[in-house]
Amino acid sequence: MTVAHVHPQQPAGVSTETYASVAVTGAARSGGRRKRVRRNWSGWWFVGPFMLVFGLVFVAPLLYAMYLSFFRETLVGGNSFVGLENYAKAMVDPKFWEAMLRVSIFLLVQVPIMLGLALFAALALDSARLRWVPFYRLSIFLPYAVPGVVAVMIWGYMYGSQFGLVADINRFFGVELPSPLAENFILLSIGNIVTWEFVGYNMLIFFSALKAVPQELYEAAEIDGAGTFRTIFSIKLPSIRGAMVIATIFSVIGSFQLFNEPSILQTIAPNSITTYFTPNLYAFNLSFAGSQFNYAAAIAIVSGVITMVVAYLVQLAGEKNEKKA
């Protein structure tokens, strides 16, 4: 005897074939109605203001700088289109490449030191062996809250060998310490200021990532008998690898954008900081002191492209290490 399969929602008295035919027809009509549903654009009310501001403060200046870089202003004839001439000039400009080499050295030395200190501080605060953690966390972060200009002025006064802390030490002990504002030490002195400013910022990124590590991993490590250093290298550091990549990318971008510190220190150390000390300082002096707006725009575009390429390579390296883990 054959048993008919009855759908749970099939009404009594209606055959299985009839119910299936009606269900298929209803589904087809429902599908047709779904196709005719109008697209909902309400999301643009939320992202629209951001897109408008983003376009005005980022895209529009960028496009205008690119536009300027294709022209050259002359006393006779005014503004004339020169194509890629400004970019070709930048490619062989020794001042620009000297500035780029200087910030590259700064990046390779300062960024690892700064991130290492920030990571050490975050691991110490997360170790649960310190008392008054909020106090230490706020103390380390506090320099980041100081405006960059004020921070440079504070350190600039302490660096002074004629009027500041170094001068006082020289007079008190009767010694002659090397001036931090001398040409051989100025990059190191700027690195010290930047490290002082941004250790707390990066420490907060690492500390927040450490707080997001699942507690079960620590419990499993404790059961396995893992010590402090084993837990750090096998659980904590692999878990915050993404945060370290983000902090490194931010630091790379910040190094190529170095401007405030050399610009302000230049007033008290003019012999140590040239007008082309960094790419940004070079572009600034070209445009506002040399009135070479078009060439300055080309320098800025080339600097931006180099920064993007380096930041992208750092991101690729981070993703590659993430896949290996």
Taking the CA atoms of 160, 165, 167 and 170 in sequence, report the sign of the dihedral they define: negative
Closest CA to 258 of 244, 276, 270: 276
- What's the mean per-residue pLDDT of the chain? 87
C-alpha to C-alpha distance for 215 and 322, rounded to whole angstroms: 21
C-alpha to C-alpha distance for 265 and 156, rounded to whole angstroms: 7
**Residue 26: per-residue pLDDT:** 58
**Residue 133: per-residue pLDDT:** 86
Distances from the Cα of 251 to the Cα of 110, 111, 277, angstroms:
9, 6, 19
The 10s digit of each residue's pLDDT in 30-57 is 555 555 667 788 888 899 999 999 999 9
pTM: predicted TM-score of the whole model, two decimal places: 0.80
**Residue 256: per-residue pLDDT:** 92
The 10s digit of each residue's pLDDT in 185-237 is 999 999 999 999 999 999 999 999 999 999 899 889 888 888 888 999 999 99
Q: Determine how many CB atoms are found less than 10 A away from the CB of residue 109.
A: 14
pLDDT tier, 97 (very low <50, low <70, confident <90, very high otherwise): very high
pLDDT tier, 320 (very low <50, low <70, confident <90, very high otherwise): confident
Judge whether residue 93 has pLDDT over 50: yes
**Residue 3: per-residue pLDDT:** 46
Q: Percent of the chain having pLDDT more than 70?
A: 88
**Residue 319: per-residue pLDDT:** 84
